[in-house]
Amino acid sequence: MNIGVCYFPEHWPREDWEEQVAQMAEAGIEYVRMGEFAWSRYEPEPGTYDLEWLETAVDLIGDHGMQAVLCTPTATPPKWLTDEHPSILPEEQDGTTVEFGGRRHYCFNSPVYRQESTRITEVLAEHFADHDAVAGWQTDNEYGCHGTTRCYCDDCATAFREWLRERYDGIEDLNEKWGNAFWSQEYTSFEAVDPPRHTAAGHHPARMLDYYRFASDSVVEFNREQCEVLRAVNDDWFVTHNEMNLFGTIDAYDLGDDLDFMSWDSYPTGHVQHASGTGEDPDHLRAGDPDLVGLNHAIFRDAADGDFWVMEQQPGGVNWPPQPTQPGEGAMALWAHHASAYGAETVSYFRWQRCDMGQEQYHAGLRAQDGSPDRGYHDATRAAAELEGLADELDGSHREARVALLHDYENLWGFDIEPASVDFDGWEHLLTYYAALRRHGIAVDVVPTDADLSGYDAVVGPGLYFASEALADSLEAVARDGGEVLVTARSGVKNECNRLRPTLPGPLTDVVGATVEQYEGFPGDAAPTVEYRGDRYEFRTWGEWLDADTAETLATHETGPASGTAAITRNDAGAGGVTYLGVWPSEDLATAVVGDFLDDAGVPTTRPLPDGVRLQRRGGLTWVCNFTSDQVYAVAPADATWHLGGKTVDQFDVAVTDAPPSDLRVNVE
């Protein structure tokens, strides 16, 4: 469990470096990430390299007992390069060229840029091949940030046609499978298929889905080329990439296949302002939402090999969300603990010192612009010392989640292409269930739909839109072996070409033991209700009218033309069962249904935790993380040992005990 920092020596006079690096070491920092935007300094003119400055910085880092993480600089191609090859610049859907002047102004499918990316990666890798202080590499920076995953340029058109040729058995096959008789969309050749550029009505859902797949594959391929170059030069280096909050346009499982571990960039008070419906909570503006942060930790932890880093951790106020709120006192240390509790190996703050030039002057650093310690510095040094203290207490036991939450990028794409209800956001829907599970204090693995589910006692599959026969079999096997499965609204709706299934929930119909007769969407203020086990609960956005066949009805609609029809069912399947939840539940309904479901599965839970308070277990220790401005009290068994803090946990603070989550209770007063 280490603390790191992101550092830009190129932003400071050379005479400052020694002192800056010495201060980092003093703060307890172990890793320093550098160089992700420095191409114009690496190669001031075409073919003329200057890596001496970076080497000096790496030497200093090594001399002070730390390790450097270097980056390939491809997120910012220099001006001379895009001037020489304007075809590198990406195109938006409406044909607008993305010009030089910001960052990420390149197309993943530009053959020229692919060559340039390989060239600069090779030059850097070879220069640092034998340097002891280089631990590994980050490829590029935040692939796809600023809406740049999907490009619509001519190079992409060519690459898309190639991609389609490999997947379809001739253009007739594509016409047939996509369903191009609709609105005269038939093609006479692959050459005729363009990227889905600006058009009057919405695009064909089959074409869109393939374009989304193609764009994600393009990034994965681009990244793979850099990984191969780096590994060929020095196989001892790790190679990672920094992903983003609920980032849906690139399949993290595909990207993770080429990386040693995944990293992501965590800005809790910023992310919460973009996740709809969560930015209003004053505590969220101080510390973020632990489930939103936690869902990212869980996704990236399992997207590669079970390890992950937070490559960028919010250091104070940040420039890009609507409001640059100041984190609550201690929140920046709390985030490092929370990440470590999820298994993060390193939490690296962005950035060392606030910068007095360029686009991010309103972004804090651990140090202020004059070099003095800022709020984040105090939290980071505290976290470094506390995590070092706790490292000795970890017993090396592995986390053992008995519950899996299924996550699939294609499902997100399906909802994005056809939300059907304007408020149906796939991420938010997933988060509803992640939060409901975490409220019960349990450990949850977030895994892809093709994961081996056989070890889990309970599996939750929210909105399995493209559920396949294979997934139906794997869920059926979980239930047959005595596990509980929870499948939710909008599952089994489409086939792999984004075409409607004859009966919903498609391949899941038998195992669910019920069919979806009708569905409807609701505006935000509608407040429709269901009756579940004798109580009335609201739901939101989406409601399905179920027709139970072999399943038993657990909840019934109470409002509108749905009144009296089933809303939640449970089907006995072998020794276990499959619950189908056909509405988007309110927090109360989700807590109740998920609680009963976990009881049925025999998973030990704690009494539902207060909002903003979460328990997380790692290596025989449990972290009590308080993301709220209230003091909370943990009721623990008499023999529990507190390794950090104690039963009373202050606002935005953390405590660590050996008692397992199911033996703890947390009260607000």
User: Minimum distance from CB of 42 to ligand GAL (Å)?
Assistant: 17
Cα–Cα distance, 399 to 470 (Å, whole number): 27
Q: What is the 8-class DSSP label of residue 83?
A: H
Query: Among residues 110 and 579, whose Cβ is nearest to Zn ion?
Result: 110
For the record, the structure tokens of 125 come out as 């890798």
Which of 400, 655, 425, 643 minimizes the C-alpha distance to 542?
A: 425
323-to-111, 328, 504 alpha-carbon distances in Å:
40, 14, 43
For the record, the structure tokens of 112 come out as 């020229």
User: Minimum distance from CB of 183 to ligand GAL (Å)?
Assistant: 39
Place of tokens 């995944």: 262
User: Minimum distance from CB of 151 to Zn ion (Å)?
Assistant: 3
350 binds, among Zn ion, ligand GAL, none (CB under 5 to 8 A by kind): ligand GAL
* C-beta of residue 12 within 8 angstroms of C-beta of residue 353: yes
User: Minimum distance from CB of 360 to ligand GAL (Å)?
Assistant: 6
Pick left, alpha or beta for residue 513 (phi over 0 → left; psi -120 to 50 → alpha; otherwise beta).
left
User: Minimum distance from CB of 86 to ligand GAL (Å)?
Assistant: 25
Query: Among residues 360 and 481, whose Cβ is nearest to ligand GAL?
Result: 360
* Beta-bridge partners for 460: 405, 486
156 binds, among ligand GAL, Zn ion, none (CB under 5 to 8 A by kind): Zn ion
For the record, the structure tokens of 650 come out as 């202050």
Residues that bind Zn ion (CB under 5 A): 107, 109, 151, 153, 155-156
Is beta strand 535-548 parallel, antiparallel or unpaired with respect to 514-521? antiparallel
151 binds, among Zn ion, ligand GAL, none (CB under 5 to 8 A by kind): Zn ion
Residues that bind ligand GAL (CB under 6 A): 141-142, 145, 265, 267, 312, 318, 320, 350, 360, 363
Query: Among residues 82 and 141, whose Cβ is nearest to ligand GAL?
Result: 141
Q: Give the ranges where 393-440 is alpha helix by DSSP (H).
A: 409-417, 426-439
Identify the sign of the CA torsion 550, 553, 559, 563.
positive
User: Minimum distance from CB of 54 to ligand GAL (Å)?
Assistant: 17
228 binds, among ligand GAL, Zn ion, none (CB under 5 to 8 A by kind): none
107 binds, among Zn ion, ligand GAL, none (CB under 5 to 8 A by kind): Zn ion
Q: Which residues are catalytic?
A: 142, 312
84-to-61, 88, 349 alpha-carbon distances in Å:
36, 9, 36
Q: Which helix (H) or strand (E) holds 63?
A: helix 52-63
Query: Among residues 142 and 302, whose Cβ is nearest to ligand GAL?
Result: 142
* C-beta of residue 246 within 8 angstroms of C-beta of residue 295: yes
Which of 403, 466, 451, 347 minimizes the C-alpha distance to 661?
A: 403
Query: Among residues 197 and 501, whose Cβ is nearest to Zn ion?
Result: 197
* C-beta of residue 7 within 8 angstroms of C-beta of residue 351: yes
User: Minimum distance from CB of 16 to ligand GAL (Å)?
Assistant: 21
User: Minimum distance from CB of 306 to ligand GAL (Å)?
Assistant: 24
**Residue positions counted in the chain:** 669
Cα–Cα distance, 207 to 532 (Å, whole number): 40
Cα–Cα distance, 130 to 156 (Å, whole number): 37
Cα–Cα distance, 281 to 608 (Å, whole number): 19
Query: Among residues 182 and 320, whose Cβ is nearest to ligand GAL?
Result: 320
* C-beta of residue 558 within 8 angstroms of C-beta of residue 526: no
Query: Among residues 351 and 382, whose Cβ is nearest to ligand GAL?
Result: 351
408 binds, among ligand GAL, Zn ion, none (CB under 5 to 8 A by kind): none
Cα distance from N-terminal residue to C-terminal residue, the chain:
32
For the record, the structure tokens of 564 come out as 């009296």
User: Minimum distance from CB of 214 to Zn ion (Å)?
Assistant: 11
User: Minimum distance from CB of 97 to Zn ion (Å)?
Assistant: 10
Amino acid identity at 283: D
Query: Among residues 127 and 363, whose Cβ is nearest to ligand GAL?
Result: 363
Give Cβ neighbours of residue 17 (< 8 Å, ≥ 6 apart): 9, 56, 57, 60
Cα–Cα distance, 218 to 106 (Å, whole number): 12
Query: Among residues 285 and 562, whose Cβ is nearest to ligand GAL?
Result: 285
Give Cβ neighbours of residue 577 (< 8 Å, ≥ 6 apart): 479, 484, 485, 570, 571, 600
Query: Among residues 312 and 374, whose Cβ is nearest to ligand GAL?
Result: 312
498 binds, among ligand GAL, Zn ion, none (CB under 5 to 8 A by kind): none
